[in-house]
Amino acid sequence: QLACPLDLGCHSVKKGFMAFGAKQIGLLAFFTGVGILLIVLGAALQKVYWSLFVLFIYLFSPVSEVLCGGALSSGFDSESGWKNVGQFITGFMSMSGLALTLVLAHVNIISLQTMGYTLAGGVVMLGTAAFAIYSYKKGSDAFFGP
């Protein structure tokens, strides 16, 4: 439970996105932007825009977990089937982004340079998501202190 930052008569606020500090939100936004930049840059340099499908996969992969009610949940729960389905679909789509990049490069639709940029952007975006989940579960002072 966190205290309400404004004195609006609320006594407590459940732990949610308020658990992130300004530094964490800034880092998450920066690294997400770097990941998107790498993917778009890889597509634009070779003027072959097939790798932008990977960007759409990464941007829409959390939607399934949000719709299934498992967004930032406490982990695997055998009694909550919908949360587990949402986590599975999110993980499947995230790994599909990496796999689609490799398949596009294998059939010579994109160049190896574009594959490198796209894979680097994907790793940055997946690392950012892992950092966000870890920070949320450990609390607001996981990396940066109070």
Q: What is the pLDDT of residues 7-32, one digit of tens each?
A: 344 444 445 555 567 777 888 889 99
The residue with greater pLDDT, 45 or 143, is 45
pTM score of the predicted model:
0.73
For all residues of the chain together, what is the average pLDDT? 78
- Please give the helix or strand (H or E) that residue 13 lies within, else none: none
* pLDDT band with cut points at 50, 70 and 90 for residue 83: confident
* b/e per residue 112-146 (b: at least 16 CB within 10 A): eebbebbbbbbebbbebbebbeebbeeebebeeee
Contact 115, 99 (CB under 8 A): no
What sign results for the dihedral spanned by CA atoms 65, 70, 72, 76?
Answer: negative
Which of residues 142 and 44 earns the better pLDDT score? Answer: 44
| Residues facing residue 13 across a β-bridge | 2
